[in-house]
Amino acid sequence: MKTAKITSYPTSAQWKTELIRLNYRERYRAMLLSTVSVLAMVCAIAVLVATLWMPVLQIYGSSMTPSLHEDDVVVSVKSREYEFGDIVAFYYNNKVLIKRVIATAGEWVEMDKEGNLYLNGELQEESYVQDKALGECDIEMPYQVPEGRIFVMGDHRSVSVDSRSEAVGCVAEEQIVGKLIYRIWPLESRGFVGNR
């Protein structure tokens, strides 16, 4: 003899609980998708800003000591105007170099054997240079900066290879990545990068 199976149907309270659970799951899924979309958009914008407008760079080498040290992390900003004392990053031989702007197009640069710098015939006060030196200089002084170029030098004059060398020469404006404005690492040294 077969027994009849009795099926119990959910009560209205059980239906209500199930609907609330499904509704909560759907809202959670929508919120998660929205959050992931916003985070992806913020990351994409941050990458674009960092790449196109404000590149973040890490310092390698000692050519800018004492102003900047190896492993410092700095923020640069794109610019079209540069003046004496600005620190710039530029492309050279598939590398990014960091140097200080000494002269712009049409200006005359001269250095004596002690490493004193003259710009358009006037001695320049360079408080950021600790050890003055003529360094690796194989260009004829006084030197006039060509049109569309910038004359740059490192602050550690005895070791820096820069516009004083024919190998590097003056930097074309198209080579410039940006002007350094702020040091973000190490934390104890963070702050604006002094131009003079």
Nearest Cα neighbor of 107 from 79, 83, 139 is 83
Give me 79's structure tokens. 């610019």
Tokens 């004392």 label which residue? 85
- Beta-carbon contacts of residue 182 (< 8 Å; ≥ 6 apart): 74, 75, 190, 191, 192, 193
Strand segments (E) across the chain:
56-58, 73-77, 87-92, 95-104, 108-111, 117-119, 122-123, 143-144, 149-153, 171-172, 176-185, 191-192
Whether residue 127 lies in the annotated active site: no
Of the residues 63, 67, 76, 163, which is catalytic? 63
Catalytic residue set: 63
